[in-house]
Chain A
Amino acid sequence: MTITRPKAKTQLFNATQEIATTDFIAGAPDAGTTRPKGIQKGNKQQISLTMSPALLIKVDELAEKLGLSRAAIINMAVYRAVEHGLTIDGLEK
């Protein structure tokens, strides 16, 4: 037999079913508590971050002044932004 029957409809059905299944599983109340992918260090997640050298110098100066680590300053700044919002050009975000 040289003619292969089309399978598109079944595949489409399987794909729809797969989406429905993953949506069903992800619909549970605890779904949001999963961690992002990547390397975990203790309770923290390791990320790779780049920033301009000028900004980094300022971060390090502030860290030095407050007697904190660079990571602590970055974490504090990000925490403030996430929890209390950002003000960019006078607009609250």
Chain B
Amino acid sequence: MILTIGNTKGGVGKTTLAVNIAIARAISGRDVWLVDADRQGTAQMAISIRAESEHQPGLACSQYAEGALLRSQVKQQGHKYDDIIIDAGGRDSTALRAALVLSDVLLVPFQPRSYDVWALSDIAALVDEARSIRDSLRAFAILNCADPSMTSSDNLEAAAAVADIPQFDYLPTPVRRRKSFANAAGQGLAVLELHPKDPKAIEELNNLVLALF
């Protein structure tokens, strides 16, 4: 399956989620290719840190910031992997568009903040355009860096706002704002591998992966 984690807005936690999901899939025995479609190359950097510290399982990781190249490479090499996770940068780019053309599923992370909710319509417009030239692109919006409180009204309101955007299905497996996600991703690890363990973060990641695959 080709999964793109993308949003035209930056700073929503795309790379952190992409690295965590890719590693979680690799741990469950899948052959994973993480494609960094962002010029900043953060995911690529995280995976190189992982490789240097010789963490197992290893992940294949490539960076293609240019849409045409991303598309041709994924078409050419894609069949060699069970799962391809594409981390597509925080702006409208050729790479993000190429990822939308290639993917089975688009996961759009957003934070329970007004600016994030406003920006959802931009990526929704791109999803519309992608759907006009291809079939069966499933698009999910997911709360990332959600407020840790289970009763947070901001979480509920942000989730409700997704209902106004018909392009997305809301995925009810929010990932909450926890240091362990960022700490793990910075070391090229998933929260599943972090010590000391953060059981809540692990549960959130597992639920998300289960909902997606």
Contacts from A to B (Cβ < 8 Å): 17, 20-22, 24-31, 34
> Within the assembled complex, what's the spacing in Å between the Cα atoms of A24 and B132?
10
Is there an interface contact between B68 and A24, defined as CB atoms closer than 8 Å? Answer: no
CB pairs A–B below 8 angstroms (28 shown)? A17-B133, A20-B132, A20-B133, A21-B134, A22-B68, A24-B97, A24-B101, A24-B129, A25-B67, A25-B68, A25-B97, A25-B98, A25-B101, A26-B68, A26-B94, A27-B97, A28-B67, A28-B92, A28-B94, A28-B95, A28-B96, A28-B97, A29-B91, A29-B93, A30-B92, A31-B94, A34-B66, A34-B94
Within 8 A of A (CB), among B41-88: 66-68, 71
B88-116 near A? 1/0 per residue, CB < 8 Å: 00011111111001000000000000000
Chain B min CB distance to A13 (Å): 11
Is there an interface contact between B71 and A25, defined as CB atoms closer than 8 Å? Answer: yes
- Minimal Cβ-Cβ distance residue in B for A19: B133
Interface of B is mostly: helix
Is there an interface contact between B133 and A30, defined as CB atoms closer than 8 Å? Answer: no
User: Which residues does chain A contribute within 8 Å of B101, judged by CB atoms?
Assistant: 21, 24-25
